[in-house]
C-alpha cells in the first residue's frame, strides 16, 4: 500500500498536543505511522504549508436519492462527490423511494461502508413514508444502524407524532431531527417573504413558518424530554429561541447549511433556480445572526444540505422549479469565506467533532497508530466548479462555472485516499 507524507500542515484537533501547530504526518498502510517532524521517505509527498489537516469531515445532512432517484445521484456518485468535498462520513436523509424505514433499507445504505473512503450513516424516517401519520419501528431501526430519526426534507407536522417520538427515543438516547416548517404557511411559496419577493412578484415564505414550529417543538421538548435537533435553520428569531431554550437547560441543538449564511434573498433577482432552496435565503440581518450563532456555539453543526436535482426539475419557471442545491464539494469554499468572521478551528469543529458527538459516533484521532481518517483543506486553493471538477450527477449549484477559493485537496479513510490532481 502506498505511503504518503504530508509535510508542514497546520493540525486542527483540539485536545491534541499538536493542535494549532505545523506538523508532518506519515501515513502507511492506512494508519498514521509518524506525527511531528518526520524525516522518513514516502511514495508520495504532499507539501501542505498553509493548509489545515483535521480528522475527516462529517456531513450531518445530505440526500443521495438512492434508491429511487438514481438519475439525480446514486451511492457511487454520492460517495465520490462527498470524498471530493473532504467528507469521510455522510448522514443521509430518508427521502428515497422507498423511504429509509426498514432494516433492509438501512442495510443497503451501509453495505459499502467497509471498503469505501466515505461511509454512509442512514437517518431513518420517523413516520411511515415520511408522511407524518404513523410511526416507524424506531427501536428496530436503531439496532439496524440508523444514527438518528427524521422525516428529512419533510417537516414533522403532526404534534402527537413528534411528542411520541421524543418519548420513544429516550429508551436509547436517540436523536430526533426536525426541519422546522409550517407547510401551510409556506404553501406555494418560492422565496423569502419580504421586500424582494414583493418587488419580484413572487409568493413569499415567511420566517414565521419556521419560527412557529420551533416554538411548538421547544414546548413539546420541555414537556416530554429527550434530544431534539433542528436542521437548516434560517432566521434570527429562530436562533434566539434556540439559544434561550439551551439556557433553560433543554437538550436542543441545531445546524445550518453552509451556503445559508452567504446568500440573501437579493440573489434571486435574476430568477436563477439554482438559488431556490427551502428554507429560502433570508435577509442580511439573518445571515449575520447565523454567523454569530456559530461564533457563540448556539449552532453546533454546519451541513452541506446536498440535494441533487436533475435539469428537468430546475430548468423551469422559478415557481415550478424544485428546491435544493448540491453542496458537498463547495462546503470548503464556504468555510473559507466564513473564516473572515469565525475562527477556522470553530468552523472545522462544526463539521468534524460536533456532528459525531450528536450522533454518538466514534471520533477519529490524529495520533500515531490511529487509522487515517483525515481531511486536508487548503483555504487558498482557487478552482472552478464545472463539468471537469464536479463529481455529482447533478449540476444545481449557485456556484456553477464560478471561480472559488478554498478546497479540500486530500481525503483519507478505510485505507483509501483521494488526492486532488494538482498534488499528484
Of the three residues 303, 325, 358, the one that is the final residue of a domain is: 358
Rg of the chain taking only CA atoms, in angstroms: 21
Give a yes or no: residue 119 inside a domain.
yes
Q: By C-alpha distance, which of 177, 291, 175 is closest to 232? A: 177
Strand pairing of 52-55 and 4-12?
parallel
104 and 48 co-located in one domain: no
336 and 416 co-located in one domain: no
Q: What sign results for the dihedral spanned by CA atoms 122, 127, 129, 130?
A: negative
What value does the mean pLDDT take over residues 20-39?
A: 95
Q: Which residues of 347-357 are buried (b: 16+ CB within 10 A; e: fewer)?
A: bbbbbbbbbbe
Q: Average per-residue pLDDT in the chain?
A: 97
pLDDT of residue 40: 87
33 and 67 co-located in one domain: no
SS3 call for 377? strand
147 and 282 co-located in one domain: yes
Give a yes or no: residue 71 inside a domain.
yes
218 and 118 co-located in one domain: yes
Residue identified by cell 418560492 is 190
125 and 32 co-located in one domain: no
376 and 277 co-located in one domain: no
User: What angle is formed at CA 114 by the lines to CA 111 and CA 117, rounded to 5 degrees?
Assistant: 105
16 falls in which pLDDT band (50, 70, 90)? confident
Q: What is the pLDDT of residues 71-113, one digit of tens each?
A: 999 999 999 999 999 999 999 999 999 999 999 999 999 999 9
pLDDT of residue 246: 98
46 and 61 co-located in one domain: no
Read off the CATH number of the domain in which 80 is found. 3.20.20.140
Give a yes or no: residue 342 inside a domain.
yes
Give the length of the chain.
424
On the question of pLDDT at 1 being above 90, the answer is no
SS3 call for 411? strand
Q: What is the pLDDT of residues 223-264, one digit of tens each?
A: 999 999 999 999 999 999 999 999 999 999 999 999 999 999
245 and 343 co-located in one domain: yes
On the question of pLDDT at 421 being above 90, the answer is no
Number of domains the chain contains: 2
What value does the mean pLDDT take over residues 142-166?
A: 98
Contact residues for 372 (Cβ-Cβ < 8 A; gap 6+): 27, 30, 31, 32, 412, 413, 415, 417
Give a yes or no: residue 178 inside a domain.
yes
140 and 16 co-located in one domain: no
Q: Taking each helix axis from N to C terminus, what angle separates 236-247 and 284-295, rounded to the nearest 10 degrees? A: 30
Q: Which residues of 359-384 are buried (b: 16+ CB within 10 A; e: fewer)?
A: beeeebebeeeebbbbbbbbbebebe
Give a yes or no: residue 393 inside a domain.
no
423 falls in which pLDDT band (50, 70, 90)? low
Range(s) of the domain holding residue 276: 56-358
User: What angle is formed at CA 313 by the lines to CA 307 and CA 316, rounded to 5 degrees?
Assistant: 130
pLDDT of residue 17: 86
Q: Is 104 exposed, middle or buried (0-12, 13-18, 19+ CB in 10 A)?
A: exposed
The C-alpha atoms of residue 312 and residue 41 are separated, in whole angstroms, by: 51
424 falls in which pLDDT band (50, 70, 90)? low
* Residues 67/107, Cβ–Cβ less than 8 Å: no
On the question of pLDDT at 26 being above 60, the answer is yes
Q: What is the pLDDT of residues 343-382, one digit of tens each?
A: 999 999 999 999 999 999 999 999 999 999 999 999 999 9
Read off the CATH number of the domain in which 374 is found. 2.30.40.10
Q: Residue 177, Cβ neighbours under 10 Å: how many?
A: 28
List the beta bridge partners of residue 36. 24
SS3 call for 201? coil
pLDDT of residue 300: 98
Give a yes or no: residue 412 inside a domain.
yes
Helix or strand run (H / E) with residue 162: helix 159-169
Give a yes or no: residue 391 inside a domain.
no
Q: Is 201 exposed, middle or buried (0-12, 13-18, 19+ CB in 10 A)?
A: exposed
128 and 252 co-located in one domain: yes
234 and 289 co-located in one domain: yes
What value does the mean pLDDT take over residues 144-165?
A: 98
pTM tops 0.95, yes or no:
yes
pLDDT of residue 15: 82
* Residues 176/165, Cβ–Cβ less than 8 Å: yes
Q: Taking each helix axis from N to C terminus, what angle separates 236-247 and 208-224, rounded to the nearest 10 degrees? A: 10
pLDDT of residue 136: 98
Give a yes or no: residue 25 inside a domain.
yes
Amino acid at each position: 500500500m502506498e505511503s504518503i507524507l504530508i509535510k508542514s500542515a497546520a493540525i486542527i484537533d483540539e485536545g491534541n498536543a499538536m493542535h494549532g501547530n505545523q506538523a508532518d504526518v506519515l501515513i502507511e498502510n492506512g494508519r498514521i505511522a509518524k506525527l511531528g517532524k518526520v524525516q522518513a521517505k514516502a511514495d508520495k509527498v504532499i507539501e501542505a504549508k498553509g493548509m489545515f489537516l483535521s480528522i475527516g469531515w462529517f456531513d450531518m445532512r445530505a440526500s443521495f436519492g438512492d434508491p429511487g432517484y438514481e438519475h439525480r445521484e446514486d451511492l457511487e456518485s454520492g460517495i465520490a462527490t462527498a470524498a471530493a468535498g473532504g467528507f469521510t462520513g455522510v448522514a443521509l436523509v430518508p427521502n428515497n423511494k422507498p423511504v429509509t424505514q426498514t432494516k433492509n433499507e438501512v442495510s443497503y445504505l451501509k453495505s459499502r461502508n467497509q471498503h469505501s473512503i466515505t461511509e454512509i450513516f442512514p437517518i431513518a424516517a420517523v413516520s411511515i413514508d415520511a408522511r407524518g401519520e404513523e410511526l416507524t419501528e424506531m427501536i428496530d431501526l436503531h439496532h439496524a444502524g440508523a444514527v438518528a430519526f427524521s422525516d428529512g426534507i419533510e417537516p414533522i407536522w403532526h404534534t402527537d407524532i413528534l411528542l411520541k417520538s421524543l418519548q420513544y427515543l429516550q429508551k436509547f438516547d436517540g436523536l430526533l431531527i426536525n426541519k422546522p416548517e409550517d407547510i401551510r404557511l409556506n404553501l406555494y411559496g418560492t422565496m423569502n417573504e419580504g421586500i424582494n419577493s414583493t418587488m419580484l412578484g413572487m409568493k413569499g415564505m415567511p420566517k414565521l413558518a419556521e419560527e412557529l414550529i420551533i416554538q411548538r417543538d421547544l414546548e413539546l421538548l420541555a414537556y416530554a424530554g429527550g434530544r431534539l435537533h433542528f436542521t437548516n435553520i434560517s432566521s434570527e428569531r429562530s436562533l434566539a429561541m434556540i439559544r434561550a431554550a439551551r439556557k433553560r437547560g433543554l437538550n436542543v441543538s441545531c445546524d445550518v447549511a453552509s451556503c445559508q449564511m452567504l446568500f440573501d434573498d437579493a440573489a434571486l433577482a435574476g430568477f436563477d433556480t439554482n438559488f431556490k432552496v427551502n428554507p429560502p435565503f433570508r435577509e442580511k440581518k439573518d445571515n449575520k445572526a447565523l454567523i454569530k450563532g456559530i461564533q457563540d456555539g448556539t449552532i453546533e453543526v454546519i451541513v452541506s444540505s446536498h440535494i441533487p436535482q436533475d435539469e428537468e426539475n430546475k430548468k423551469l419557471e422559478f415557481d415550478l422549479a424544485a428546491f435544493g442545491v448540491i453542496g458537498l464539494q463547495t462546503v470548503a469554499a464556504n468555510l473559507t469565506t466564513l473564516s473572515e468572521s469565525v475562527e477556522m478551528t470553530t468552523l472545522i469543529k462544526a463539521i468534524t467533532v460536533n456532528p459525531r458527538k450528536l450522533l454518538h459516533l466514534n471520533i477519529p484521532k490524529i495520533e500515531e497508530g490511529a487509522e487515517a481518517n483525515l481531511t486536508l483543506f487548503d483555504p487558498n486553493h482557487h478552482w472552478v466548479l464545472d463539468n471537469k471538477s464536479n463529481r455529482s450527477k447533478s449540476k444545481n449549484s449557485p456556484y456553477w462555472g464560478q471561480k472559488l477559493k478554498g478546497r479540500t485537496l486530500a481525503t483519507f479513510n478505510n485505507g483509501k485516499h483521494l488526492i486532488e490532481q494538482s498534488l499528484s
